[in-house]
Amino acid sequence: MTELFTPYKLRDLTIPNRVWMAAMCQYSAAPEGPETGVATDWHFAHYAARAVGGTGLIITEATAVSPEGRISPYDLGIWDDAQVSALRKITDFVKSQGGIPGIQIAHSGRKGSTDRPWKGGAPVGADEHGWQPVAPSAVPFDDGHPVPHELTTDEIAGVVGQFADAARRALAAGFQVAEVHGAHGYLVGQFLSPHSNKRTDEYGGSFENRARFALEVVDAIRAVWPDDLPLFFRISATDWLEEGGWTADDTVRLATLLRDHGIDLFDVSTGGNAAGVRIPVGPSYQVPFSSRVKNETPMPTAAVGLITEPEQAEKILASGEADAILLGRELLRDPYWARHAARELGAEVYTPSQYGRA
């Protein structure tokens, strides 16, 4: 048995292998009306294909805790009970194929109200289903982006409650893993980084103050999420800024802190909070950040970022740089990546009876 196809247990949940699907927005939900934020046939087919392909854990796209928490008007939501049943259809199918369904619970903050990427991804106004974004500070993400509304302390408490309500609905929808989206410059990450958080109250300034919102969100979710099911946290380990941003040292410090608050695994990515930065992209370029967290803290990690080859993924796990592999674009290219990897590495992966003769 290879490392990549060894089951992995977190709390009382056993994930059948270490090939996991990272959250990736599909921008395919209705932007208005009674179907706003509701999963569609596209979402079902998209996630079902990866489950049939042998992926052990499938994390749905960033799913918003409120309408203004979406990245685009076309994102999935989990702020309304009416959004649960379509998600339940997906989780039931993933489980029927031996996989584990996970959900990324998210709020876009100042990076919300943008168009779909293939339409350019620019901010959109009310005439295109847009809204005024919110943030820890009234600082726009980039030139051409609107100045966000600075959240009051009462509004912050309201958003924390929205995360908890979203987790309750996620459980009702059948998800077995929940992940807090604290990466890529969205709301939780905006609070963490001094680049985007200019507050002078108890939510800004020191590391402890900037981490307060993340801790409150985690505590609120952990209070309603079952003790026997794991809770992940996706982190951007660095803003890739020379100064004035979130750093790898901050990430290591936060990992230890969040472990004590009930986070079971760090999904380690980078970037997204500062516009125009130069990122040294290449194969496995984010793996060293996962390795630091895994080897300097008690926090297990999953590595992500230009991991495309089975032997590459196996080496990352075997060398102790991560506990699991999260695939993004590679799973868009090949829904059956896990099956192909198992064949290459001499391992086995679940095969539906209908496909056995192949």
Residue pointed to by tokens 């952990």? 222
Asked about 336 being catalytic, the answer comes back as no
* Cα–Cα distance, 328 to 52 (Å, whole number): 17
Contacts of 99 (CB under 8 A, 6+ apart): 16, 50, 51, 55, 56, 57, 58, 350
Residue 48 belongs to what H/E stretch?
Answer: helix 41-52
Token digits of residue 148: 């966000």
User: Catalytic pick from 186, 203, 336, 350?
Assistant: 186
CA distance 103 to 180: 9
169, 81 Cβ separation under 8 angstroms: yes
Both structure tokens of 142: 């980039």
SS3 label, residue 248: helix
Residue 283 CA to chain centroid, in angstroms? 20
| Rounded Cα–Cα distance for residues 54 and 207 (Å) | 41
Q: What residues are annotated to the active site? A: 186
